[in-house]
Amino acid sequence: MSRSIDRVADAARAAGLVIDIRRMGESTRTAEDAATQCGCDVAQIVKSLIFQGKDSANLYLFLVAGTNRLDAAKAAALAGETLVRADPRYIRDRTGFAIGGVSPIGHLVDMPTFADRTLVAFPVVWAAAGAHDAVFSAEPTALLRAAKAVVADIAE
């Protein structure tokens, strides 16, 4: 496995989250691709979106249900500052994950994490596991606890 996938597995183990990482063989970069590969509803896909503080350059992770869009104003209010899209290279350097494989857990750095309350309505959700074709499933409350996420109203 790749180092980024190993980091996800290690983070899950450290948090007491039992997961089975699967390499799907095809891209799971988009929520739609992931749902097709996982055989689940698009809403059960956890999108890991990283934004950067405009002035602070701090990173913020938002975990959003696959069918929802992040509300920028709500996200900024939670972060306490104006947010901008983080540069993909900056994300990779700081988190260890490339866009399309960003996991809710296993980042190189800690960052404030907020989760879409819609996710807790499902018995199981699927998230990226550190590579464009790697995923894992988890019970949402356990995953959000492992991610140290604050559950909030962040969807449009």
C-alpha span between 109 and 126 (Å, rounded): 22
Contact assessment for residue 47 and residue 35, using Cβ atoms and an 8 Å cutoff: no
Question: How does pLDDT run across 85-98, given as a tens digit for each residue?
Answer: 999 999 999 999 99
Q: The domain 3-152: what is its CATH number?
A: 3.90.960.10
Q: Are 95 and 52 in contact (CB under 8 A)?
A: no
pLDDT of residue 33: 87
Place of tokens 């490339």: 98
pLDDT for the residue 100: 87
pTM: 0.95
pLDDT at residue 48 tops 60 = yes
Q: Compute the average pLDDT of residues 84-113.
A: 95
Domain ranges for the chain, please list them.
3-152
Which of 21-25, 72-76, 88-92, 136-140 shows the lowest per-residue confidence on average (mean pLDDT)?
21-25
